[in-house]
Structure 1
């Protein structure tokens, strides 16, 4: 199993300062009365710049230290969660994985243990909404776990009539993102194109159109419903 791990602590981006040179060039030349004071200010500028840089560096250092402290606290909390993960019910397992995906902090040992010991043995009993939520979070974490995906695909096949059409589109999209071709789902969706064009909202139809285009399947009826400018080009290539 391969997990694309992401760290909570990222390097902060410092925006470049906007130069004020053009502003000063547009101001009238200083009078003799102000010439000496301007020279004093100019001579003091390097020291002020040094102080600004020092303050900015100190702020960045404090923020970096805070990030590491937060990461440490999260690691400690998640290590405790890992020790109790087998007692979590399906809902809380999915919520945990959703939280890890949301913050971009997913310790490999915790994810592996959760999927191996909690999720995989329970897949054959998951309800439709649990399967959909689980597959969504697995895709968000970019987890490559073929045994789990195979088990989920088999469970989807068993309870296919329980899924709404929009749910089937979402399932097929997530399986595709995980490079696990959802042939049965695509076949089911292809047989219900007219129903999809008549009942699904525009966002789901766009998702379905992208899905069909990605697999080289005809989707003219979806394009007709959406009336987008790109559809004639896409359907012409199929």
Structure 2
């Protein structure tokens, strides 16, 4: 199994903090009162300017320490979660994976253990909404776990009639993002174009159009349906 992991603290993913200096640069032009205050600051002695710089540096240092402390607390909390993960029900397992994807804080050992010991053995019993939530979380984490995707694909096949059409479009899109071509789903969607045009909103239809185009399937009929639906609206506004 190969999992695409994210480190606990990645420089590229740390939310940028707005320092006092950058905040003032981004504010609107100052009023006369503020301008007067700034002239007073400009006329301050060099010692006062040095003191301000020192205070800003100290603030930045405290914020950096806080970042590391928060990362440490999260790491400790997730270590405890890892020790109890087998007692989590399906809903809480999916919520955990969604939370890890949301904050970009996903220790590889926790993701491995969760998918191997909690998710994979339960896939054959998952309900449609659980499968959809799980696949969304796995796609957000960018996890490549072929055995899990294969099991999920088989479960989707077993309960295909239970899925709403919009859910099938979402499933097919996430499987595609994970480089696991959902051939059966695409076939099912292609056979239900009439229902799609009648029941799906424009955004979902466009998602379906992009999905078909990515797989080299005929999508002109979807384009035509979208144009047909939009034409009366445009005529009414003219």
- TM-score, reference length from structure 1: 0.79
Larger mean CA deviation between 47-56 and 11-20 belongs to: 11-20
| Structure 2: 5+ residue stretches without partners | none
Distance change >3 Å, CA 159–CA 202, structure 1 → 2: same
Q: How far did 1:53 drift?
A: 3.0
* Aligned twin of 2:87: 87
* Secondary structure in 2 matching 1:44: coil
Give the secondary-structure state (helix, strand or coil) at the position aligned to 2:18. coil
Distance in 1, matches of 2:198 and 2:30, equals: 73
1:14-39 CA-to-partner distances (Å, cap 9, x unmatched) read: 99999999999999999999999999
The question of whether the paired residues in 2 share the 8 Å contact of 1:86 and 1:117 is answered with yes
State the match for 1:17 in structure 2.
17
Asked if the contact 1:3/1:141 (under 8 Å) is kept, the reply is no
Q: Per-residue deviation at 1:55? A: 2.3
Shift of 1:216: 1.4
Q: Indicate if the aligned counterparts of 1:6 and 1:105 stay in contact, CA closer than 8 A.
A: yes
> Which is greater in Rg?
1
Residue 234 of structure 1, CA deviation: 21
The alpha carbon displacement at 1:179 in A equals 0.5
Q: How many residues align structurally?
A: 238
Partners of 1:159 and 1:117 in 2: how far apart? 23
More deviation in 17-26 or 185-194?
A: 17-26
TM-score by length of 2: 0.79
CA offsets 1:38-86 (integer angstroms, 9 cap, x no match)? 9998785654543333222222211111111111111111111111111
Structure 1 131/24 Cα, relative in aligned 2: closer, same or farther at 3 Å?
A: closer
Superposition CA RMSD, Å: 6.9
CA distance in 1, matches of 2:34, 2:236: 73
CA 1:25–1:50 in structure 2 vs 1: closer, same or farther (change >3 Å)? closer
Structure 1 stretch displaced more, 53-62 or 27-36:
27-36
Which stretch shifts more, 57-66 or 150-159? 57-66
CA distance in 1, matches of 2:85, 2:12: 33
Distance in structure 1 (CA, Å) of the matches to 2:226 and 2:216: 18
Give the 3-state SS of the residue equivalent to 1:144 in structure 2.
coil
Name whichever of 125-134 and 188-197 sits farther off.
Answer: 188-197
SS of residue paired to 1:129: helix
**Mapped contact 1:94–1:137 kept (Cα < 8 A):** yes
CA contact (8 A) 2:97 2:137 kept: yes
* CA distance 1:2–1:237, change in 2 (3 Å): farther
SS in 1 for 2:194: helix
In structure 2, the CA distance between the partners of 1:227 and 1:154, relative to structure 1 (3 Å rule), is same
Aligned mates of 1:136, 1:28 — CA distance in 2: 41
Give yes or no for contact 1:97–1:137 (8 Å, CA) kept in 2.
yes
CA apart distance, 1:149: 0.3
